[in-house]
Structure 1
Amino acid sequence: MKVTWTVSPVGYQRIAKHCPSCSIKRDFTPSGAFRVNSQKKVLDVWSIYKCVHCNYTWNIALFSRLHVSKIDRELHHRLMANDAATVLYFAYDNTTLKRNNAELSGRPDFRIQEQWSASLSPGERIEVSVRISRSFQVSLMSILQKQLMLSAGEIKRRVESGKIRGITMKKLKSRKLKDTEYKFQLSAETLFAQRRIALKHR
């Protein structure tokens, strides 16, 4: 029996940066707009971030000295239109964030889509696949807590008793997850204990 949890962040990943206006380090978040400069068919593109406290703006470079012939027309249109999905994409793009030496701050909320590949009967062990749609600051522990409706301590006890297998506590607590797939196993009772779904014996 298999179940897949597809995890997607809600909202933006914030960035910590010194704010000249506040004179201290503050969280910055995308403003929802791009800045595009065009000079002799060469483009410079930034995503405009703003301080969550005072709205001081800071630009993160997306493209520098890029010839217009080398950018996809549809992408260029989305940048010019301040397309919301494109703003969200670059807010979680690791390459862009690393190039700008961005310091991630806080943990965005997230949603989980659950899909089953087979039916379930009591006593069976379920293989869980967790798919991270975008790389962001989240841990498998927080995903399990949200989806199983269990505390961190209860999850730890289930790992120790073997009701949760194929994953270590160290891995569960790590927030350095990539946009990839993680697998482990749960007992049926662990998956449904707090979710009020009745399991019928054959």
Structure 2
Amino acid sequence: MRNENIWEIKATNTPLLKRKCNRCNTNSFYCSEKFRINAQKKNIDIWLIYRCVKCNSTYNMTLFSRIKPELLGKDLYNKFLENDTEIAWKYAFSAEISRKNNVELDFKSVEYDILYDTISVEDILNSDSEIVTFKIKYPYDFNLKLSSFVRICLQISATKLNKLIEAKVISIQEKYLHKKHKVKNEDIVQINIEKLKSVYTKL
């Protein structure tokens, strides 16, 4: 087994926006992945366009207001002009942008896939290493609990995971895992094999 393995979380859609529609009273808007740009002399305004899930009416979420194009940089400005999907997703997942616009993102609406090599606890127990490490790729943050994610990737029950947490078998960024931890991109999860063995002999 490799000393470092990759766990990747791939969102398959952007989060819905919790906002009441003025036309049909629905409370959800989806990201259109398109931008609106308005020029005011030498300054520009940029919005990310959302549409009501029911009637398709629009809501524009402010990204930049009265900013000079050169301050954005040519590359980023062109991506706004081209409705670049990657940039649209970046802002659609931004909790900071939603707070500035006084709206709430519905992270529970995000669906995702987890890409990982199937490595069981038994495989880890049979490893020659003292520590087995997993690096997390999570480019879009949608408030996912790390404990739930670890349980899925290790294919263990919630009861067994609780035992591992209590015994301080799993650490994240050199701090022991607890249930309140949220997943962050580039997180490093480490499993102490000696501690793991001590727990599993009692199960």
1:130 shift after superposition:
3.0
1:37 shift after superposition:
0.6
CA distance in 2, matches of 1:140, 1:158: 14
Change beyond 3 A, Cα 1:170–1:163: closer
1:38 shift after superposition:
1.1
Query: How many pairs were matched up?
Result: 181
Which residue of structure 2 lines up, in the alignment, with residue 184 of structure 1?
190
CA distance in 2, matches of 1:121, 1:106: 35
Change beyond 3 A, Cα 1:109–1:144: farther
1:100 shift after superposition:
1.4
CA contact (8 A) 1:17 1:27 kept: yes
1:95 shift after superposition:
3.0
1:145 shift after superposition:
3.5
Change beyond 3 A, Cα 1:81–1:120: same
2:138 corresponds to 1:136: no
CA distance in 1, matches of 2:192, 2:112: 21
TM-score normalized with structure 2 length: 0.72
TM-score normalized with structure 1 length: 0.73
Q: 1:20 aligns with which of 19, 22, 26?
A: 22
Q: 2:126 aligns with which of 91, 116, 122?
A: 122
CA distance in 2, matches of 1:74, 1:123: 46
| Residue identity matched to 2:14 | Y
Q: Percent identity?
A: 25
| Deviates further, 77-86 or 102-111 | 102-111
CA distance in 2, matches of 1:100, 1:52: 19
Q: What are the Cα deviations for residues 4-60 of structure 1, in whole angstroms up to 9, with x where unaligned?
A: 323342210222112222325x22221121111112121111000122233221110
Which residue of structure 1 lines up, in the alignment, with residue 201 of structure 2?
none
CA distance in 2, matches of 1:34, 1:27: 19
What's the C-alpha RMSD, in Å, of the aligned pairs? 3.0
Structure 1 stretches lacking a partner, 5+ long: 191-202
Q: What are the Cα deviations for residues 76-106 of structure 1, in whole angstroms up to 9, with x where unaligned?
A: 2221221111111111233322211231213
| Residue identity matched to 2:15 | Q
Q: 2:179 aligns with which of 166, 170, 178?
A: 170
Which residue of structure 1 lines up, in the alignment, with residue 120 of structure 2?
none
Alignment of 1:59-78 (within 5 A): 59-78=60-79
1:180 shift after superposition:
4.8
Q: What are the Cα deviations for residues 102-154 of structure 1, in whole angstroms up to 9, with x where unaligned?
A: 31213322334448xxx977155423333432322211133123323334344
